[in-house]
Structure 1
Amino acid sequence: MPTLPRSIPYRVQAAVLRAVFALPEPVRRLIAGPPLRIDGQELALDAQLLLRLQSLVEQDGLAADTPEAARAAMAASVPMVAGERIEPVDARDLLIPGDAGPIPARLYQPEGLAEGSPLLVYYHGGGWVIGDLESHDNLCRFLAKHAGVRVLAVDYRLAPEHPFPAAVDDALAAYRYAVAHAEELGVDPARIALGGDSAGGNLAAVTAHGAATRGEPRPTFLLLIYPAVDASTRRRSRELFGHGFLLTDSDMDWFMGHYCPDPESHRDPRLSILLAEDLGVLPPTYLAMSGFDPLRDEDEEFAKRLAESGVSVVVRRHDDLIHGYANMLGVGRRFREAVFEAVGALRAGLALSPAGATGNGGPAAGAAADRGSPGDGADQVTS
């Protein structure tokens, strides 16, 4: 995530970011530079301004010399853009049994939410190498509060210490735990959704597919935010947006080199879910993608395959945004608007499920309709 020069204390950096984004629009435009247009898309001013501030840092992208360094950089930078902690949301840590040992997790519960609510099992992004419960804490709080659901965030094992398919195994174990312990978690076992961003979106889709093909309970809904879905093919969007838009081409090689270095495994559906033969087993899905994202074209293709397979899918292409926007709730307005739209999709998907057709109530009812608005570039595909 973007930061200012590392010699400046982080609290000062955060103050500078807030001050810059509070400037009048003409001044912000002057700092960001002329509007950037690529492939018929215009980058949002908020995104361009953030990237301009990122250019003050020597590092371009998310990778680093070592995984440890990349994790430290993410841990330091996410609070810069995530915003003030979202309250009132109760959060408690727990351990989920896994074949390789306990899996850390965190359960979020909005204030006043009744027992028997829906649950979103959420897998964080970070290329299967970086990210953790803390990096996505505010995003999970946001989803819990405004969607009126409990959220179970999963701290799956990371590569290269635990390469593919360790993360897949942990993701499935967490979902099974949620189903088996629904009453203990205070949730309705018939209204459990899976979600994630980037690598986490990959794990959510792979987990839903794995459960369905094994004859296990199928999640009610999938919330996928710019998911990685195909490691086997290099597409045009990776050439167009592989440099200068946060997630870089070299980042993608770096992440995959740590997570799944064997090219023979890149076509495994547990990694490249786009290549699975039976996508029709997936539940109704909301798939959001960014226009200025190396993953854009594989997400477009995945959406098309879902629709062709008979999956009810709503596709949202935010033409003006970059990869990683879901973690940028504390700067500007455009990123928050996009996440509010995902909240609305989650609420609708859970409410329209057979078990949730009468509605789930909760303190946040109607929040998605009242707050935020979608940006330009919406595409919807339903089946």
Structure 2
Amino acid sequence: MSGPDYGALLDAEVRAYIARGAEFYPPGAVGLTIEDQRATYDAMCAAFHAGRPEGVRTQDETWGGVACRRYESGTSDVTVIYYHGGGFVVGGLHSHDDVCAELCARTGYRVISVDYGLAPEVVFPGCYNDARAAFTAIQTAFSGPVVMVGDSAGGNLAAAVTHGARARVTGQVLIYPGLGGDRTRGSYVTHSHAPELTVQDMEFYQTVRTGGAAPPVGDPRYAPLQDSDFSALPPTVIVTAQCDPLSSDGESYRDAILAAGGRAVWFEHAGLVHGCLRARTMSRRAAAFFDRIVDATRALGQGEWPY
């Protein structure tokens, strides 16, 4: 059986975004050394950096022993805790700086980006421990609502920390998260060789994340979808890209929360690929994708559920 026709599924703007990214971070980059992967990823993120909106103030600081960056654009009692993507291997405060700044400017909320430790230097559960330590310190310091937001690997961390914290989190917005779903079905099969992320890429990141050990089973700190209890989770919005092996995790996670009596909604955006946050200035589809994230974050911070 032949795979999807990405030439037809992806419009010219998205294809142009993919081509530009490949100039810096080519397909098969997981075959490079970790040092070279990080260098090429950093170069790509720098090339796509859209700048910070006027009026956004930043401060680098430490929360729970973890380096973080705080963004503020006004006075709000809502705090967004952001965990960046990058397969637990690449990325940092720099890679999602403009995304966090824009999220801050458009919601008016305080945004704190967490620079959790990366593999292979820090293997599981080290990245989770960093994410949880930063959350605990931030949530203790600020008395207002806390919204967890993360993309890809960061979406995994946002959900994993939320599963441990439950009522201490006001809401969560998960952006094409990897939640440990069933790799024998859905998008894992249909889009196993999608542009920007393949199942083979995911297997590489998994090996590095665990230090070569077998992945844990039944541990929601590693794979939130493997939790046995989805009750009392906060209102959750999951936003995924159609042409991404991870998309089905959004559907599965929504269904698990709904089955436990919670509030959750999943949006799969057609004609987009993993990592499309960076495409928001080049693609109308990606801009609408980011609008969805901003609107969801704003609503959850206000305790609203417009779904």
TM-score (ref. length: structure 1): 0.74
What is the root-mean-square deviation in Å for CA atoms of aligned residues? 2.3
> Structure 1 residue aligned with 2:243, among 280, 292, 306?
292
Question: What amino acid is aligned across from residue 172 of structure 2 in structure 1?
Answer: L
Could you tell me which runs of 5 or more consecutive residues in structure 1 were left unpaired when the two chains were aligned. Answer: 1-33, 183-188, 358-379
The residue number in structure 1 matching 2:258 is 307
Residue 33 of structure 2 corresponds to which residue in structure 1?
66
1-structure distance, mates of 2:202, 2:70: 30
1:106 corresponds in structure 2 to: 69
Instruction: Determine which of 214, 220, 227 is the counterpart of 1:263.
Output: 214
Deviation at 1:151, TM superposition (A): 0.2
1:51–1:244 Cα contact (<8 Å) kept: no
Measured after TM superposition, the shift of residue 221 of structure 1 is: 0.6
**TM-fit CA distance, 1:56:** 6.2
Q: CA deviation at 1:268?
A: 1.9
Distance (whole Å) between structure 2 residues aligned to residue 61 and residue 344 of structure 1? 34
| 2: CA distance, partners of 1:192 / 1:55 | 36
CA spacing shift, 1:238–1:145, aligned 2, 3 Å: same
Aligned-partner residue type, residue 38 of structure 2: R
Match of 1:82, as an amino acid? H
Residue 81 (structure 1) shift: 2.4
The one-letter code of the counterpart of 1:95 is T
Equivalent residue letter for 1:330: T
Partner of 1:230: 180
Deviations 1:283-330 (A, max 9, x none): 001100110001012222111112111221121110211100113333
Question: Counterparts of 2:15 and 2:40 in 1: how far apart (Å)?
Answer: 21
The residue that corresponds to 2:90 in the other structure is: 130
Call closer, same or farther: CA 1:150–1:35 in 2, change over 3 Å.
same
Match of 2:42 among 61, 66, 75: 75
* Cα separation, partners in 2 of 1:54 and 1:208, compared to 1, 3 Å: closer
Which residue is 1:197 aligned to? 151
State the distance in 2 between where 1:289 and 1:352 align: 22
Matches of 1:222 and 1:145 in 2, distance apart? Answer: 19
Deviation, 1:335, is: 1.4
Structure 1: how far apart are the matches of 2:293 and 2:220?
25
Opposite residue 209 of structure 1, the aligned amino acid is H
| Corresponding residue number in structure 2 for 1:142 | 102
55, 65, 79: which is aligned to 1:119? 79
- The 5 Å alignment of 1:197-216 reads 197-212=151-166
Q: CA deviation at 1:203?
A: 0.4
What is the CA distance between 1:163 and its match in structure 2?
0.4
CA shift, 1:35, in A, is 7.2
Give the SS at the match of 1:327.
helix
2:83 maps to amino acid: Y
Alignment of 1:237-256 (within 5 A): 237-256=187-206
2:252 partner SS: helix
Given that 2:150 and 2:156 are in contact with CA atoms closer than 8 Å, whether structure 1 keeps it comes out as: yes
Identity in percent: 31
Aligned to 2:233: 282
> Counterpart amino acid of 1:224?
L
Distance in 2 between residues matched to 1:144 and 1:85, nearest whole Å: 10
Q: Which residue of 1 aligns with 2:170?
A: 220
Contact 2:56–2:71 under 8 Å retained in 1? yes
Query: Which 4+ residue blocks in structure 1 deviate beyond 6 angstroms?
Result: none
- Alignment-derived partner of residue 55 in structure 2: 88
Could you tell me how far apart the structure 1 residues matched to 2:40 and 2:159 are?
28
The one-letter amino acid of 1:87's match is E
Question: Partner amino acid for 2:206?
Answer: M
**Cα pair distance change 1:109/1:64, threshold 3 Å:** farther
Query: Partners of 1:74 and 1:67 in 2: how far apart?
Result: 10
Residues 1:57 and 1:150: Cα distance change in structure 2 (over 3 Å):
closer
